[in-house]
Amino acid sequence: MINTLPQLSFIFDRRKIASPAKKSSLEIRITHNYKQKYINTGIKLYPNQWKNGKIVNCPDALQISQALDKLLKDVRQVLLNMIEEGEIDIYSISSRLVKIKEGKISFLDFCKQRITIRKYGKASGSQKRYDIFVEHFSKWNKIKDFSDITEANIMEYDIYLAKSNMKPSSRWSNYHKYLNGFILDAIKEGYISKNPYKWVSLDRGRDNLGINKYLTLEEFQKIRDTVMPTQSLEKIRDVFVFQTYTCLRYSDLKAFNPKKIQEIKGTHVYINGSIKTHIDFVVPLLSPALEILHKYNNRLPVITNIKYNEYLKLVAQAAGVDKPITSHWARHTGATMLLNSGVPIEIVSKICGHSSIKITEQIYAKLLDATVVNAIKNLDTKTLL
């Protein structure tokens, strides 16, 4: 006989780990007969995005709320079934939810539904990458159902990507990483029990991590000093130079706010939080960067990232630099210039807005090795005797 009915509620940040720079999980808590069961919704939020039981400060709040309502409805249905059976076992709710889902959704449909949550809180560029992945993955169409998620199919997908002459780092960063994310979501929601990526060894191109995508000081100076053939290309070049001197990501460059500039001990400093990582960064504005700001009355002529990258190829060509530069080359170039100038890695990490120095060290490991070698070569050997 059932004496009391279960109580349902949403619980955010149960473990008290959320901060302005770190998300935490939103869960459903089921309470019955002094016992509790928590079910992870798969949604992670920052503290300011959950208020009075509602999602706020998010452009996708409506879609995510609808997904939460659907999950809550499924949990209630499971409980109603248990009540009809005469026994409530809150610890078997998760397995019952899986049975509700079985046969009702394919893995492809799951990805398309889950993409709303996966894109939540991301910059527009990151959101577009999810759309591109799902479209490309759907065309491949070899993994349709959850039963198709096998080690063999993951390897076949990698072979398929490699046939297009895609580098290992691009295969992982633009395709495998996203597929792996959706598979992890499927595991959390009980559709599958294991992740084939755990058993398949893929070449992720980690040795480079994009560090080859930077300009030497001489190449940067060519681009900075060359007279551009058109006014449009001059604007693109100026934005690239400004981005190099500030090490800003494109998303932060586009959102550049001159009101965030402060003067500290005679130095102009730009202090803001990264749109991508929500980590604060502190960027000293060197005189060349300030000159560009003054040239455009503090309103940088930033265009869409796609067009920006297209025009940058023409800027490089006009300067006689034979490299396929993009907006992210500016960030890497700026960081390498700072490191080669002897700026401590702790300061470079803060300027770049990395969450830890370890990330900076990992990205620029090869560069740091080269910097150490060059420093030793430049030593006056007599001083060592």
Is the pLDDT at 378 greater than 50, yes or no? no
Give the pTM.
Answer: 0.49
> What amino acid is encoded at 209 in this protein?
L
Task: Return d(Cα 246, Cα 331) in angstroms, integer.
Answer: 8
Highest mean pLDDT pick, 76-80, 108-112, 178-182, 278-282: 178-182
> What amino acid is encoded at 237 in this protein?
R
- Within 10 angstroms of residue 309's Cβ, the number of other Cβ atoms is 18
Burial code (b: 16+ CB inside 10 Å, e: under 16) for 154-166 equals: beebbeebeeeee
Q: How confident is the model at residue 363, as a pLDDT?
A: 62
Interval 34-60 mean pLDDT: 88
Q: How confident is the model at residue 376 (pLDDT cuts 50, 70, 90)?
A: very low
Q: pLDDT higher for 271 or 365? A: 271
Q: How confident is the model at residue 381, as a pLDDT?
A: 39
Q: How confident is the model at residue 31, as a pLDDT?
A: 92
Task: Return d(Cα 245, Cα 254) in angstroms, integer.
Answer: 15
> What amino acid is encoded at 159 in this protein?
I
In tens, the pLDDT along 184-211 reads: 888 877 677 788 888 888 877 654 444 4
Is the pLDDT at 62 greater than 90, yes or no? no
Burial class (CB in 10 A: 0-12, 13-18, 19+), 383: exposed
In tens, the pLDDT along 275-306 reads: 777 777 888 888 999 999 999 999 999 999 88
Contacts 24+ apart (CB under 8 A), 353-359: 353/249, 353/252, 353/273, 353/274, 353/277, 353/279, 353/280, 353/281, 354/277, 354/279, 355/21, 355/277, 355/279
Q: How confident is the model at residue 179 (pLDDT cuts 50, 70, 90)?
A: very high
Under a CB-based contact definition with an 8 Å cutoff, are residues 97 and 28 in contact? no
Interval 332-354 mean pLDDT: 79
Could you give the residue ranges of the DSSP H alpha helices within the chain? 61-85, 93-101, 107-118, 124-140, 151-162, 168-171, 177-188, 217-225, 231-246, 250-254, 287-295, 305-319, 327-340, 345-352, 357-363, 365-377
Using alpha carbons only, give the angle 280, 282, 284 rounded to the nearest 5 degrees: 165
Interval 232-254 mean pLDDT: 92
Mean residue pLDDT of the chain comes to 82
Interval 142-150 mean pLDDT: 86
Task: Return d(Cα 118, Cα 298) in angstroms, integer.
Answer: 34
Domains 108-198 and 217-381 share a fold: no
Using alpha carbons only, give the angle 313, 319, 320 rounded to the nearest 5 degrees: 90
Interval 217-245 mean pLDDT: 93
Is the pLDDT at 122 greater than 80, yes or no? no
Under a CB-based contact definition with an 8 Å cutoff, are residues 312 and 240 in contact? yes
Task: Return d(Cα 335, Cα 271) in angstroms, integer.
Answer: 17
Domain ranges of the chain: 7-101, 108-198, 217-381
Task: Return d(Cα 363, Cα 360) in angstroms, integer.
Answer: 5
Tokens, residue 338: 């700072």
Q: How confident is the model at residue 14 (pLDDT cuts 50, 70, 90)?
A: very high
217-381: CATH, from 3.40.50.261, 1.10.443.10, 1.20.1050.10, 3.40.50.360: 1.10.443.10
Task: Return d(Cα 139, Cα 98) in angstroms, integer.
Answer: 27
Task: Return d(Cα 313, Cα 321) in angstroms, integer.
Answer: 9
Under a CB-based contact definition with an 8 Å cutoff, are residues 64 and 43 in contact? yes
Interval 82-100 mean pLDDT: 77
Q: How confident is the model at residue 355 (pLDDT cuts 50, 70, 90)?
A: low
CATH top-level class of 108-198: mainly alpha
Task: Return d(Cα 156, Cα 178) in angstroms, integer.
Answer: 16
| 3-class secondary structure, 9 | strand
CA 323 to chain centre: 25
Lowest mean pLDDT, pick from 26-35, 121-130, 214-223, 258-267: 121-130
Under a CB-based contact definition with an 8 Å cutoff, are residues 65 and 10 in contact? no
Radius of gyration of the chain (CA): 26
* DSSP assignments along 88-104, one per residue: --GGGHHHHHHHHHTTT
Tokens, residue 271: 């202090």
Interval 331-347 mean pLDDT: 81
